[in-house]
Structure 1
Amino acid sequence: MIKSRSNLSSLEKYWILYDVGNSAFIMLVSTIIPIYFKNIAAANGVSQANSTAYWGYAISISTLIVAILAPTLGTLADTKGYKKPLFTLFLMMGVLGCAALSVPMMWIIFLVVFIIAKVGVSASLVFYDAMLPDVTTDERMDVLSSLGYAWGYIGSCIPFVISLVLILSAEKFNITSAEATGIAFLINAVWWFLVTVPLLKNYKQVHYVEVEKHAFANAFKRLGNTFKDIKHQKEIFTFLLAFFFYIDGVYTIIEMATSYGKDVGISDNNLLLALLLTQVVAFPFAILFGKLSKKYKTKDLIGFCIGGYFFIALFALQLDKAWEFWFLAVCVAMFQGAIQALSRSYYAKIIPKEKSSEYFGFFDIFGKGASFTGTMLMGITTQISGSSKTGVAFISLMFVVGYLIFKKAAGMQKS
């Protein structure tokens, strides 16, 4: 199933499978869930601009919660025996939250349940990313991280296509579109859990901090020490600052694309099919960038991806036709997996391995903080101006700032 599987260990394959699982829910977040939410909000008299803003606020709240929790949870997870239980806890929060979305409810309650599920998946990724040093070597991190995103994209298409066929053919099954969407949420929740089982059964924490007692109290103490250390480790701190700015635009484009497309008049079917194409195209490009990392420096590839996203944001400013949305979807697919995978592996190689969860907690602060800033900015500017394009203009500037700071961070790299 997985490319070059003969070169992958069983544990590396199981690690990749979690990307296949959680990507199913992440795919829903960028496609079916916002469309479903905007439709039930419209049925209750909420305007298009306001529903886009409320969706942005919900994403912002979920990312803010994780950004606050991530450093403490990450520090605790570095304690021997804690990483897998914490990963499992938030995995189940996300899976059960996804399943709960299938229950008919008011739009405001729907957003609350969505926030719970979003917190679950986002927090689980803190521990999942921190497992990377436990399951592979430094030399294999770029490739494995890229394969994770690649197979996540293509694997998530399986439950998504089933869901899409079910929703678009609801009448043939003698059910309503809303009922079909509810069943789709259940299908994706079950898929997410089942493909994660091999990792849950076989993962063992290799790198950890020995703490004999008072793990919680010790975690807070270590957290303070790590925060001081990061401020003095210029390469790590500068990279995190750059990551904050450029990933802001990436996450906002991913999470707001469907809502934005709907606002500029793209039909639901075109939105869903174009975003499905994004997953398919992203698969080979994520693998391609993983292979390119063997020939070119990771920092140069990340810089190239940031530039690509900047031009994508500029193109989105004039988007008003279905074919343009399709073209934009393909362009996003070219860089989406690469910029996330290479950023993850780049960071994993410059941090202390025994404190991987702790440091990835801070990685999540900068990543989720950026997502919070971007989606909140998108929501506020859309409500003030009455147009989503104002928010996109601000987002494009984030790529410029992120690129300039990243070039400075890359210049500090020792090798």
Structure 2
Amino acid sequence: MRKLFSKTEWSWIFYDWANSGYGIIVITAVLPIWLTSVAANNGISATHATAYWGYANSIATLAGAVLAPILGALADFQGMKGRLFYFFTALGVLGTFALTAVPSDNLFFLLAVFVVSFIGYSSANVFYDSYITDVTTDKRMDMVSSAGYGFGYLGGLVPFIIFMVGRSFFSSYGSVEFAFVLSAIWWAVFTIPFMKNVRQTYALPRVDHQVKASLKRLWHTLRVLPKYPALAGFLIAYFFYIDGVNTIFTMASSFALAIGIPSGQLIVVLLVVQLIAFPFSIVYGWLANRFGNRNVLIMGMLIYIGITLFAIFINHPNQFWLLAFGVGSSQGGMQALSRSYLGQLVPKERSSEFFGFFNIFGKFSAIIGPAIFGIVSQTTGRVQYAAGSLSILFLIGLLIFLRLPKKTTD
């Protein structure tokens, strides 16, 4: 494996490994549970605490999405990408550390610190994604991007296991502090190779009043984007099919509990999905290198259509394992190849700007799918039908994608 990628490529890949601990430990596993205890200390019910958690996530996501194209356009100037990347990475790491300093009876302070850490996390990812054009070639981009996602899944799994083993040595509050410190240290330490070996290769010349110039470029891009049908069309197709991917990930736990999966078994299933996603993300990169990114993305959308239609007929908890395997086999690969597909389309010296748009489409796509799931579930009374209804998102994305002109790299 060491010989498959250059030192620069490996250094870029391991940033995905670095920040994935934050995603699985802070966002998914620990903070949502811990805040209910903090809320109780404030006399706030679990129902209201869940609502506040939803509001905090919405605020953080919206802030990150709005900032993404503006910061992306600014990052394309010579020397700016690294400064912005390190600033927001530091903001995320320090924000994660700061979660340990929040008193156990101050819910709104806890949520405010989380919002700051999440903005650092999501904004740094915009620059990280755009660095793919600096660290590798178009021909190798699919494999490098897929390896990033693959090792990201593994990099989230390892610190989570460390946390699960280590928490028995702490009190309830101490285990939470341990989780936040572990996430921050993991993130900071494995960012060091990136700091040493990754540099901005493509850039626009520096100008005076860079912020003003960035806003003008951004407005110009919005006006002329329709003149680039391959790029604009891909972003629209991505909006739909990634909404399906994200909704399945978001609603998987609710779906599993509704069909009778015990909560303890559900944790095991989610860990297995993370483990499956590691090798299959890399397999997707190999397939794209062999058969072309476009063809493998089409295959992935077809697999997801099959997964969602299969969900309609699930009537036994054991069948959920097949569904979980299907999701784990394709989730990381679809995300990775979408990133590299865009990287092969955009002008290299303006990659951060376009990855800012990519970030917006990915964030705002998380609106339609959960709404469809909720409406169908409530109307029919069956979560199986709700899961099956998500096939329409993949079908729309596939039909748009099939109409796009082929890239020369394919």
> Counterparts of 1:378 and 1:58 in 2: how far apart (Å)?
22
Aligned to 1:146: 146
2:275 to 245, 255, 280: 280
Shift of residue 382 of structure 1? 7.7
Cα–Cα, structure 1 residues 99 and 174, in superposed 2: closer, same or farther, change >3 Å? closer
Describe how 1:80-91 pairs up with structure 2 within 5 A: 80-91=78-89
Aligned to 2:12: 15
> Counterparts of 2:148 and 2:215 in 1: how far apart (Å)?
31
Kept in 2: contact 1:31–1:258 (CA 8 A): no
> Counterparts of 2:61 and 2:357 in 1: how far apart (Å)?
13
Kept in 1: contact 2:36–2:49 (CA 8 A): no
Shift of residue 343 of structure 1? 0.7
State the one-letter code of the partner of 1:129: D
Residue by residue over 1:201-231, the C-alpha shift from the partner in whole angstroms, topping out at 9 and shown as x without a partner, is 3322110011231111111111112222322
Q: Which moved more, 1:308-317 or 1:330-339?
A: 308-317
Aligned to 1:77: 75
Cα–Cα, structure 1 residues 307 and 15, in superposed 2: closer, same or farther, change >3 Å? same
Describe how 1:3-402 pairs up with structure 2 within 5 A: 3=1, 5-28=2-25, 31-33=28-30, 36=33, 40=37, 44-47=44-47, 55-102=53-100, 103=102, 104-105=104-105, 109-167=109-167, 170=168, 173=169, 175-176=171-172, 178-258=173-253, 260-262=255-257, 266-316=261-311, 322-375=317-370, 392=387, 395-402=390-397
Shift of residue 185 of structure 1? 2.1
> Counterparts of 1:33 and 1:377 in 2: how far apart (Å)?
28
TM-score (norm: length of structure 1): 0.87
Kept in 1: contact 2:34–2:176 (CA 8 A): no
Q: Which moved more, 1:395-404 or 1:206-215?
A: 395-404
Aligned residue for 2:318, secondary structure, equals helix
Kept in 1: contact 2:143–2:288 (CA 8 A): yes
Aligned residue for 1:294, secondary structure, equals helix
Cα–Cα, structure 1 residues 258 and 292, in superposed 2: closer, same or farther, change >3 Å? same
> Counterparts of 2:231 and 2:256 in 1: how far apart (Å)?
36
> Counterparts of 1:269 and 1:64 in 2: how far apart (Å)?
33
> Counterparts of 1:379 and 1:65 in 2: how far apart (Å)?
25
> Counterparts of 1:249 and 1:27 in 2: how far apart (Å)?
20
Kept in 2: contact 1:17–1:148 (CA 8 A): yes
Cα–Cα, structure 1 residues 78 and 375, in superposed 2: closer, same or farther, change >3 Å? farther
Q: Which moved more, 1:145-154 or 1:259-268?
A: 259-268
Cα–Cα, structure 1 residues 395 and 88, in superposed 2: closer, same or farther, change >3 Å? farther
Shift of residue 264 of structure 1? 5.5
Kept in 2: contact 1:163–1:181 (CA 8 A): no
Shift of residue 253 of structure 1? 2.4
| Runs of 5+ unmatched residues, structure 2 | none
| Runs of 5+ unmatched residues, structure 1 | none
State the one-letter code of the partner of 1:64: L
Shift of residue 78 of structure 1? 0.1
Shift of residue 249 of structure 1? 1.5
TM-score (norm: length of structure 2): 0.87
Residue by residue over 1:140-160, the C-alpha shift from the partner in whole angstroms, topping out at 9 and shown as x without a partner, is 101111111111112222211
Aligned residue for 1:371, secondary structure, equals coil
Shift of residue 412 of structure 1? 4.7
Shift of residue 268 of structure 1? 3.8
Aligned residue for 1:211, secondary structure, equals coil
Q: Which moved more, 1:68-77 or 1:29-38?
A: 29-38
> Counterparts of 1:391 and 1:197 in 2: how far apart (Å)?
44
Aligned residue for 2:205, secondary structure, equals coil
Q: Which moved more, 1:399-408 or 1:112-121?
A: 112-121
Residue by residue over 1:288-318, the C-alpha shift from the partner in whole angstroms, topping out at 9 and shown as x without a partner, is 1111112212111111112222333344566
> Counterparts of 2:7 and 2:23 in 1: how far apart (Å)?
25
Aligned to 2:399: 404
Aligned residue for 1:139, secondary structure, equals coil
> Counterparts of 2:54 and 2:389 in 1: how far apart (Å)?
15
Cα–Cα, structure 1 residues 351 and 278, in superposed 2: closer, same or farther, change >3 Å? same
> Counterparts of 2:96 and 2:374 in 1: how far apart (Å)?
24
Shift of residue 265 of structure 1? 5.3
Shift of residue 325 of structure 1? 4.1
Aligned residue for 2:403, secondary structure, equals helix
Overall identity of the aligned pairs, in %: 40
> Counterparts of 1:192 and 1:97 in 2: how far apart (Å)?
12
Q: What's the C-alpha RMSD, in Å, of the aligned pairs? A: 3.0
Shift of residue 337 of structure 1? 1.1
Shift of residue 328 of structure 1? 2.9
Aligned residue for 1:293, secondary structure, equals helix
> Counterparts of 1:388 and 1:110 in 2: how far apart (Å)?
33
